[in-house]
């Protein structure tokens, strides 16, 4: 697909035509990654963040938020719970929290690997090369780092640098692959200032980076952030601004599947937040093959408020497990066994 074709799909409103897009993405998903939906237990281990991202509710400038960092034993206990639920992976996500030191994290990864054998995915932001190498050596398998938007000017505007240094997230993703991680990335859809051209470029970038995992979700305004105002001046010109809608999210999931047939693609919580009734299922029927049930203890969930009214905030880990299974089975799919490694990466290794 070239950029013009992607833009045409992103702008398409014709239900019958879109039905063809959903079907094509679903067929490619079935052929390349199969029927199984893999479960990744998501653990939000800290909401402490050094960054001041203009879109995110846990940004450092948000003083209204109570902060937490989960203790090691509690994280390991949650990983065991994930293993009991037969999740193949635990995803350790946090704000960019430099209280999470290289040594502490390495010891935690070693313990989780030794005690549970689960695949470990990290999503801890822009960390030093030494940290990333040490965590790989400790046994981490995958790293998630969204580049958020491929429009560099927009990205720099909404993601202020730390101590004046802009990190190129796309270059960092390539470095993560070199270190040996499976790499995951993605974007928010409908960021104020994001154009159709930008979003089409994002999809082409997924393919260029040859991502093993692609996570996309709608941008959801948070009232305590600079982007979360109704300021029209932040938006792209009329007709060019991408809407942050459910429909646009399905289009990006489907186009990402067509552009990257072997990638693991989750049906995200942000999508489920826009449509709690059927968002997850529709995402899975239009190209996605992964869900990430929340394993975070309930007492912390409301504090990890990256955007308001996040889906599943009042549920327990057990509720999330049961709910995901029911949704997967309701659409004629099955829950995947094992780690759910990226077929993209296995094919690359075999070659
Ligand atoms: N600190 C790590 C990082 O920056 O990669 C991981 C945590 S960060 C909260 C995880 C993701 O949340 C971001 O990559 C961003 O895409 C998403 N996010 C943050 N604020 C959001 C918002 N208002 N709407 C939708 N997604 C948001």
Q: 31 C-alpha to center of ligand 1: Å?
A: 31
Ligand 1 atom nearest residue 123's Cα: 6
Q: Would you say the CB of residue 311 lies under 6 angstroms from ligand 1?
A: no
List of long-range contacts for 105-110, beta carbons under 8 Å, 24+ apart: 105/131, 105/134, 105/135, 105/138, 106/134, 106/135, 106/137, 106/138, 107/72, 107/138, 108/72, 108/75, 108/76, 109/135, 109/138, 109/139, 109/140, 110/138, 110/139
List of long-range contacts for 1-6, beta carbons under 8 Å, 24+ apart: 1/203, 1/255, 1/258, 1/259, 3/197, 3/200, 3/201, 3/204, 6/199, 6/200, 6/203, 6/204, 6/255
For 28-73, how does the pLDDT look when each residue is reduced to its tens digit (9 = 90+)? 999 999 999 999 999 999 999 999 999 999 999 999 899 999 999 9
Among 43, 144, 188, 274, residue to substitute to test ligand 1 (most atoms within 8 Å of Cβ):
188
> What pLDDT was estimated at residue 44?
98
pTM score of the predicted model? 0.97
> What pLDDT was estimated at residue 230?
78
For 84-125, how does the pLDDT look when each residue is reduced to its tens digit (9 = 90+)? 999 999 999 999 999 999 999 999 999 999 999 999 999 999
Q: Which domains are seen in the chain, by residue range?
A: 3-346 (3.20.20.70)
Q: Helix 169-179 crosses helix 196-209 at what angle (to 10 degrees)?
A: 20
Q: Would you say the CB of residue 217 lies under 6 angstroms from ligand 1?
A: yes
Q: Would you say the CB of residue 95 lies under 6 angstroms from ligand 1?
A: yes
For 153-179, how does the pLDDT look when each residue is reduced to its tens digit (9 = 90+)? 999 999 999 988 889 999 999 999 999
Q: 267 C-alpha to center of ligand 1: Å?
A: 15
Q: 162 C-alpha to center of ligand 1: Å?
A: 16
């Amino acid at each position: 697909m070239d950029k013009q074709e992607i833009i045409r799909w992103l702008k398409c409103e014709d239900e019958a035509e879109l039905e063809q897009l959903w079907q094509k993405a679903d067929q490619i998903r079935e052929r390349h990654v199969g029927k199984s939906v893999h479960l990744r237990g998501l653990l939000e281990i800290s909401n402490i963040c050094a960054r001041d991202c203009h879109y995110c509710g846990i940004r450092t400038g948000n003083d209204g938020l109570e902060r937490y960092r989960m203790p090691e034993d509690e994280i390991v206990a949650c990983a065991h719970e994930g293993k009991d639920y037969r999740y193949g992976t635990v995803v350790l996500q946090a704000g960019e929290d430099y209280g999470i030191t290289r040594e502490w994290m390495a010891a935690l990864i070693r313990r989780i690997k030794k005690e549970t054998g689960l695949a470990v995915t990290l999503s801890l932001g822009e960390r030093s090369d030494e940290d990333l190498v040490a965590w790989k050596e400790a046994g981490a398998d995958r790293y998630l780092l969204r580049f958020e938007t491929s429009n560099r000017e927009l990205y720099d505007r909404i993601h202020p640098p730390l101590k004046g240094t802009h990190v190129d997230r796309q270059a960092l993703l390539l470095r993560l692959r070199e270190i040996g991680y499976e790499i995951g990335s993605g974007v928010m859809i409908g960021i104020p200032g994001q154009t159709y051209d930008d979003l089409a470029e994002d999809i082409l970038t997924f393919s260029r980076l040859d991502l093993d995992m692609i996570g996309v979700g709608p941008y959801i305004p948070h009232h305590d952030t600079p982007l979360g105002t109704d300021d029209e001046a932040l938006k792209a010109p009329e007709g060019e601004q991408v809407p942050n809608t459910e429909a646009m999210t399905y289009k990006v999931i489907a186009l990402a599947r067509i552009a990257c047939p072997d990638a693991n693609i989750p049906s995200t919580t942000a999508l489920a937040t826009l449509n709690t009734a059927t968002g997850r299922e529709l995402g899975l029927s239009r190209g996605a093959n992964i869900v990430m049930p929340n394993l975070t203890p309930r007492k912390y969930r409301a504090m990890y408020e990256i955007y308001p009214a996040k889906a599943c905030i009042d549920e327990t880990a057990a509720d999330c497990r049961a709910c995901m299974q029911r949704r997967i089975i309701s659409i004629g799919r099955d829950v995947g066994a094992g780690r759910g490694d990226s077929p993209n990466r296995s094919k690359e290794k075999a070659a």
